[in-house]
Chains A and B, each alone.
Chain A
Amino acid sequence: MTDDAFPRIRSVGTDGLLVSFADRLSEPANRAALALRAAVDRAGWSGVEETSTSLVSAYLRFDPLGPGAENLRARLESLLAERDWTTADLPDGRRFFRIPTVYGPDRAPQLAEAAELAGMSVQQAIDSIAAARVRVTTIGFAPGQPYLGELPEQWDIPRQSALTATVPMGALVVAIRQLVLFSVTTPTGWRHIGQTAFRLFRPDSETPFVLRPGDEAQFVPVAPGELANMDDDPDGGATSEVIR
Chain B
Amino acid sequence: MSGVLIVHSAGPGVTVQDRGRSGTLAFGLSRGGAMDRLALAEGAALLGQPGTLATLELAGMGGRFEASRDLRIALTGAPMRASLTLAPQGAVHGNAPQGAVQGGRLVWGASHLLPAGATLDIGPVTAGAYGYLHVGGGIDVPQVLGARSAHLAAGLGRVIKAGDRLPLGKDAGQGTGLALPPSDRFGGGVVRVVASLQTGLFPQDQLDRFARTEFRRDTRANRMGVRLDGAGEGFAVSGGLSVVSELIVPGDIQVTGDGAPFVLMAESQTTGGYPRIATVLPCDLPRVAQAPAGAVLEFRFVTMAEALEAERRHRNDISALAGQIQPLVRDPHDIRDLLAYQLISGVTAGNDL
Contact = CB atoms under 8 A, between A and B. Distances in A.
A57 B256 contact: no
Interface string A192-212: 000000000101000011000
Identify which of B24, B154, B282, B304 gathers the most chain A CB atoms within 10 Å of its CB.
B154
A104 interface: no
Given A13-B251, A140-B245, A189 B28 contact: no
A55 B37 CA distance: 30
Given A144-B27, A189-B273, A12 B312 contact: no
Interface size class of A (residues with CB under 8 A): 35 or more
Contacts of A144: 27-29
A56 B244 contact: yes
Contact of A143 (B29, B197, B258): B29
Interface stretch (A44-52, A80-88, A123-131): A44-52
Interface in B264-312: 269-274, 279, 281-282, 304, 307-308, 311-312
Contacts of B145: 203, 208
Interface of B: 22-29, 144-145, 153-156, 194, 196-197, 241-242, 244-247, 249, 251-252, 256-258, 269-274, 279, 281-282, 304, 307-308, 311-312, 315
Contacts of B274: 159, 189
Contacts, number: 153
B25 A14 contact: no
Interface string A93-128: 000000000000000000000000000000000000
Given A13-B251, A13-B279, A14-B311, A142 B269 contact: yes
Interface in A1-59: 10-16, 18, 20, 22-25, 37, 49-57, 59
A191 to B, nearest CB: 12
Contacts of A65: 308, 311-312, 315
Contacts of B24: 143
A134 to B, nearest CB: 15
Given A52-B25, A189-B274, A209-B28, A14 B281 contact: yes
A163 interface: yes
B244 A139 contact: no
Contact of A141 (B26, B197, B252, B272): B272
A51 B269 CA distance: 16
Contacts of B244: 22-25, 55-56, 176
B197 A10 contact: yes
Interface string A46-76: 0001111111110101001100010000000
A141 B224 CA distance: 12
A141 B304 contact: no
Contacts of A234: none
A31 B308 CA distance: 33
Nearest to A141: B269
A25 B304 CA distance: 29
A18 B145 CA distance: 25
B252 A13 contact: yes
Given A12-B196, A147-B245, 12 more contacts: A14-B307, A14-B308, A14-B311, A50-B25, A52-B26, A57-B247, A59-B247, A139-B26, A140-B271, A162-B257, A163-B257, A203-B154
A220 to B, nearest CB: 24
A176 B308 contact: no
B311 A64 contact: yes
A226 to B, nearest CB: 25
Across chains A and B, which 6 residue pairs bring their CB atoms closest together, nearest first? A161-B257, A140-B271, A52-B26, A158-B241, A143-B29, A209-B27
Contacts of B270: 52, 140-142
B22 A49 contact: yes
Given A10-B197, A14-B282, A159 B28 contact: no
Given A13-B249, A14-B281, A18-B247, A183 B28 contact: yes
Which one of B241, B247, B249, B252 has the greatest number of beta carbons of chain A within 10 Å?
A: B247
27 contacts: A13-B252, A13-B281, A14-B194, A14-B279, A14-B304, A14-B311, A15-B282, A24-B244, A52-B270, A56-B244, A57-B247, A59-B25, A69-B304, A140-B28, A140-B271, A141-B269, A141-B270, A144-B29, A160-B257, A162-B258, A163-B257, A176-B242, A184-B153, A201-B29, A203-B154, A208-B145, A209-B29
